[in-house]
Chains A and B, each alone.
Chain A
Amino acid sequence: NAGVTQTPKFQVLKTGQSMTLQCAQDMNHNSMYWYRQDPGMGLRLIYYSASEGTTDKGEVPNGYNVSRLNKREFSLRLESAAPSQTSVYFCASRGYNEQFFGPGTRLTVL
């Protein structure tokens, strides 16, 4: 039982490059989330998925797209990375009254 896993752990991109952050959970949860964490700003919701096949925008969705591939997997895509997207990205899934977080992806955009 691995909980929530994320890949990669670290990534450096040049401005304009694209990449996909992968997330998977093995707890059979319906809801999954993508957050970004920046110093002094806590975690901000980018996108979430209440169930397989549905996705909704969160607080800061611009520049991102998501795919809920199946119940286990929820990916986040940056089509054209910008320096403002330098951040630590966390995926989470929701069980009963609690969100479980992955270990994060540290992304730097040069």
Chain B
Amino acid sequence: TQLLEQSPQFLSIQEGENLTVYCNSSSVFSSLQWYRQEPGEGPVLLVTVVTGGEVKKLKRLTFQFGDARKDSSLHITAAQPGDTGLYLCAGVLWTDKLIFGTGTRLQVFP
């Protein structure tokens, strides 16, 4: 069974703080995706990283794909209450199936 471990599992911070979420695997993926999920809804895609070492930025969110394409990180600068949610990484297999990480639940307090 392929596993994607995310850390931390829970994160509770004050508005304005920075944070990093890690996603690690022993498997190599063709690409890696990050999703965000709100309560009562399905996950929504934030970004796809394809090339080893790739860095993508979405406003205050920075995503990095490891050189060996086995791991990834999500860094949020100056977190806001609107960033609250469940963040899921997902490794894309060569068959186009996804392997989801265990999830990081982020709570940002005003």
Contact of A42 among B42, B48, B97, B101 (CB under 8 A): B101
What are the interface flags for B74-105 relative to A under an 8 Å C-beta threshold, 1 for contact and 0 otherwise?
00000000000000100000001110111100
- Is B43's beta carbon under 8 Å from chain A? yes
Number of A residues, CB within 8 Å of B: 24
CB-based nearest B residue for A94? B96
For the complex formed, measure the closest distance between the CB of A88 and the CB atoms of chain B, giving whole angstroms.
Answer: 9
A-B contacts, CB under 8 A, total: 48
Q: How large is the interface on B (under 10, 10 to 19, 20 to 34, 35 or more residues)?
A: 20 to 34
For the complex formed, measure the closest distance between the CB of B37 and the CB atoms of chain A, giving whole angstroms.
Answer: 8
- Residue pair A99, B40 in contact (C-beta under 8 Å): no
CB-based nearest A residue for B41? A103
- Residue pair B42, A40 in contact (C-beta under 8 Å): no
For the complex formed, measure the closest distance between the CB of A34 and the CB atoms of chain B, giving whole angstroms.
Answer: 12
- Is B44's beta carbon under 8 Å from chain A? yes
Most A C-beta atoms less than 10 A away, residue of B4, B31, B45, B88: B45
Roughly how many angstroms separate A93 CA and B95 CA in the complex, as a whole number? Answer: 15
Roughly how many angstroms separate A42 CA and B100 CA in the complex, as a whole number? Answer: 6
> Across the interface, which residues of A come within 8 angstroms of B18, CB to CB?
none
> Across the interface, which residues of B come within 8 angstroms of A98, CB to CB?
33, 45, 48
Known: A97-B48, A101-B43, A101-B44. A40 touches B103 (CB 8 A): yes
Known: A42-B88, A45-B98, A48-B97. A90 touches B4 (CB 8 A): no
Known: A41-B102, A42-B88, A42-B103. A58 touches B42 (CB 8 A): no
Roughly how many angstroms separate A81 CA and B42 CA in the complex, as a whole number? Answer: 23
> Across the interface, which residues of B come within 8 angstroms of A103, CB to CB?
40-42
* Contacts from A to B (Cβ < 8 Å): 4, 31, 33, 35, 40-45, 48, 58-59, 90, 92, 94, 97-104
Closest 5 CB pairs of A and B: A101-B42, A42-B100, A43-B100, A42-B102, A98-B45
* Contacts from B to A (Cβ < 8 Å): 1, 4, 6, 9, 31, 33, 40-45, 48, 88, 96-98, 100-103
